[in-house]
Amino acid sequence: MYAAAWSSLPEVEGLPNNFRTAVAGREMGVNQIRWVHPTELPPHTHEDAEQAIVMLSGRIAFTIDGTELELSAGDVCLVPRGSVHGGHSIEGEAVFVEVFAPLRIENLVGFLGGPSMPKQENPA
């Protein structure tokens, strides 16, 4: 299969209020991400891949190597391999597409290895 509707693919909640729908080719992975406020993406790195984020709707706060950004619909940003990055929702719901090159197999449903992102601390 070479095409599918996002709505026909499984959505997985990886962190609280942080939902991923993933597809993959042989060399790249594409994810639709949906953040429902409040959600927090802890700082982390991807030593194995470059990442692009294309905002479709809503707004998020995102930090790359200490530089704080606010991303909204129509924005695109690139995260270099090895850069420390993370973010959080601002309000409501935000939807964006992220592309990883090369493919990060851990994003796919059914992956049995461990995630690269640290677990989110539960607020006290």
Give 39's pLDDT tier (boundaries 50, 70, 90): very high
Give 124's pLDDT tier (boundaries 50, 70, 90): very low
pLDDT of 113 reads 58
Give 108's pLDDT tier (boundaries 50, 70, 90): confident
Please give the residue that has the higher pLDDT: either 109 or 11: 11
Q: Which domains, and CATH codes, for the chain?
A: 11-107 (2.60.120.10)
Please list, residue by residue across 40-57, b when 16 or more beta carbons sit within 10 angstroms of its beta carbon and e when fewer do.
bbeeebbeebbbbbebee
> For the chain, what percent of residues have pLDDT higher than 90?
75
Instruction: Give the full edge-to-edge strand order of the sheet including 59-64.
Output: 40-44, 85-89, 59-64, 67-72
Q: What is the pLDDT of residues 42-99, one digit of tens each?
A: 999 999 999 999 999 999 999 999 999 999 999 999 999 999 999 999 999 999 999 9
Location of structure tokens 């080719």: 25
